[in-house]
Amino acid sequence: MIGSVGGGNHFAELQYVASVHDRHAAYAWGFELGQVVLMVHSGSLSLGHQANADGLEQARRAWPARVPKPDNKILPILLGERNEAVLRRYLDAFGNAANFAVGNRFFLSLMLRQGLAAECGALSADLVYDAPHNLLWRDDDGSVVHRKGATPAGGYADMAGGPYAMWGEPVIVPGSMGAASYVLRGHGNPRTLASACHGAGRRVPRGAASRAATPSSTRSSPSSVWSRPSTTAIPRWRAARTSWPPGGATSSRRRRGCTRTSAPWCPAWDGPASRTRWSSCGRC
């Protein structure tokens, strides 16, 4: 499994810096116009889904028999000594999935660098940032922030003592396959729990594009992408996900005080070799 991209909108892509909106932050992070960057957008390759399924089953078993279950079907694992082992098991599985995802993104980035070096000769590359999403963050006061479809966007105070203290936390926003991606800097806005959305979202639910698409419609559409899980070819439409116009989704975050755009990246080549993207990024 390790070294593979996974399903959905995950990819690894060779990109370039198309423009710079915040030249001070871009300079500090090492970005220049036309510079080649590598992005990997990938997750835990179903380990997170398995951890969640196990956690739900444990929550069902731990739920008091005579207490009605919530109407929304969301079952919390109740705090207390009685459920401590159940909670610990879930968090350990969740953490292991997150750690695997980080390692897998590094493997993918090294594979990209190796392939690029084989074609272009020796090169140097530095990791800019790894921006996780869909995880739990526990604060010092004991509260927990679950960023579902969102990523941290800390400001100056959140980054104090580190290399990003002067600029805020890098926020990586991967586009749909073949669309532009963005790197922004966070503002640490408490109204958004120091968070920013991870992408532009989707126009239709998961799987709806597969049910609506046909081989003829996907072949005639320049925005179609074919995914081949096991032996079944399933058409997936980029149109199912929102491909925002340049600055569209990022400008809404700026107006709400979440982030500020630093630099957008565009795919260097929208071909089969570029279909592997990540929420970690490196510059070459």
Q: Annotated active-site positions, please?
A: 198
Phi-psi region of 34 (alpha: psi -120 to 50; beta: other; left: phi over 0): left
How deeply is 26 buried, as exposed, middle or buried, from its count of CB atoms within 10 A (0-12, 13-18, 19+)? buried
Q: Convert 251-263 to b/e letters by CB count within 10 Å (16 or more is b).
A: eebeeeebbbbbb
Distances (CA, A) of 138 to 143, 145, 147, 236: 6, 6, 11, 36
DSSP 8-state code for residue 68: P
State residue 145 phi and psi, 5-degree precision: -105, 120
